[in-house]
Amino acid sequence: MDIKRKKRRGLQAWVSWWIEKILAASGGITAFIILLIVVFLFKEGVGLFQSPRVDEGYVLLMHSSNEVDQLSADELKGIFDEDITNWAEVGGKNQAITSLRLDQIMDRFTEEELGGEYEYLSQRMGELIATTPGVIAFVPTLYAPLDHPAVQAMTDNTIALRDFFVGKEWIPTATPVPLFGTLPLVMGTLWVSLFAILIALPLGLGVAIYLAELASPRVRSLLKPVIELLAGIPSVVYGFFGLVVLVPWVQRVLDLPVGETAFVGSLILAIMALPTLISVAEESMKKTPRALREASLALGATHWQTIYKVVVPYASSGISAGVVLGIGRALGETMAVLMVTGNAALIPHTLMQPVRTIPATIAAELGEAAAGGSHYQALFLLGAILFLMTLIVNLMAEALAKKQHNKGF
């Protein structure tokens, strides 16, 4: 008997060879594209830590006797908001701070003193700084009297990693330095999605159990398409519903100052996640082998005991996949959340506060951020953070499902 492998010939062999290769390649290509997106996000974003904090074309000037030469973004903001009023608070000598912006400087002089074309502005500025030892001035480099002996420019740092990752404020338009603290956004995102899961999981699981186990075939064939239809509604519509119905309702019932809260965001997110969650969970419960069900019933377990001791555990990986898919879909669909959470970049302390999520921030701000500027870069880094967050959640869900399957519950 000839059992040697024969060379396949002809067009058919050629086509099947190519199909095989294309299928094999498509997996690799998908992974590669995902990698490319991540690299792109980081590449666009990572320049943030090399760009100066102060906007290009501006400098911070101080009196040359001032020994402070390092100020964090928060400190600078404090100084210009006049929350910090003494140099001693930021490590200098005991001296009152006079913070000046360009318009404040110009207000101190008459038009003649400045000159028609502002040709004396630089000189006046030098004089002003020389006579005010506690000064810090935020001015365009063009007019900065840098050769004046009593003036020193503050050495500007690049944006610090620390400020980005644990900074408590996100104010990209603040001057003299924008604040890119991502903590409130990360927290906002986590809060909204976490509570969305807490709301959606029991509800979705309940409906899925009802559909898979209890509903008569007629009810099931009626309900399933309706639920699947819900998944197709654009998220703006959900957002609109949230804004017009849920927000005022929550505000009235809970007697809150504003209705746009993390809570409503979670609610909307949960509603949007439900159809996917229900469909996936229901299908995986339906897949529980009949033999397992019968084995459980044959041991005298009731229908309910069989559901929660056999069917739900058996379907647990499908259920967690449903949660991740549902929430993932909902999180990605920024609009609805953007519309109902109030978008205040504050670290939330309760669910009943306005919050702002990462996707909402990106959607709202990318349009107005100058390409290549620090704001733009910060938004790209936010995208990368969001990607990492979803990745971690996905991996966790997968690990959880796997663990349960191997070890028993």
- State the residues that interact with another protein by CB under 8 A: 289, 291-292, 294-302, 305, 309-310, 313-314, 405-409
- Rounded CA separation 358/343 (Å): 10
Minimum CB separation from another protein for residue 211, in Å?
A: 17
Question: Of 93 and 405, which CB lies nearer to another protein in the complex structure?
Answer: 405
Question: Of 173 and 305, which CB lies nearer to another protein in the complex structure?
Answer: 305
Distance (Å) of CA 101 to CA 57, 67, 108, 112 = 14, 21, 11, 20
The structure tokens listed for 185 are 């956004």
Coil vs helix vs strand at 109: coil
Question: Of 116 and 300, which CB lies nearer to another protein in the complex structure?
Answer: 300
Question: Of 118 and 409, which CB lies nearer to another protein in the complex structure?
Answer: 409
Minimum CB separation from another protein for residue 166, in Å?
A: 42
Question: Of 168 and 220, which CB lies nearer to another protein in the complex structure?
Answer: 220
Question: Of 306 and 353, which CB lies nearer to another protein in the complex structure?
Answer: 306
- Other CB atoms closer than 10 Å to residue 186's CB: what's the count? 19
- Rounded CA separation 289/306 (Å): 12
Minimum CB separation from another protein for residue 295, in Å?
A: 4
Minimum CB separation from another protein for residue 303, in Å?
A: 9
Minimum CB separation from another protein for residue 408, in Å?
A: 4
Given a contact cutoff of 8 angstroms between Cβ atoms, the answer to whether 98 and 134 are in contact is yes
Minimum CB separation from another protein for residue 409, in Å?
A: 6
The structure tokens listed for 342 are 């109030």
The structure tokens listed for 331 are 């999180």
Q: Which of 286, 219, 255, 233 is nearest to 352 (CA)?
A: 255
**Side-chain half-sphere of 229: how many Cα atoms within 13 Å?**
5
* Residue ranges of E strands in 103-185: 135-140, 151-153, 170-171, 179-180
Question: Of 220 and 329, which CB lies nearer to another protein in the complex structure?
Answer: 220
Question: Of 184 and 318, which CB lies nearer to another protein in the complex structure?
Answer: 318
Question: Of 315 and 360, which CB lies nearer to another protein in the complex structure?
Answer: 315
Minimum CB separation from another protein for residue 334, in Å?
A: 38
Minimum CB separation from another protein for residue 215, in Å?
A: 14
- Rounded CA separation 60/66 (Å): 13
Q: Which sign does the torsion angle of CA 40, 44, 47, 48 carry?
A: negative
- Rounded CA separation 118/106 (Å): 10
- Rounded CA separation 181/391 (Å): 22
Contacts for 357 with CB less than 8 Å, ≥ 6 apart? 185, 188, 189, 192, 265, 331, 334, 337, 338, 341
Minimum CB separation from another protein for residue 323, in Å?
A: 19
User: 101 φ, ψ to 5°?
Assistant: -105, 170
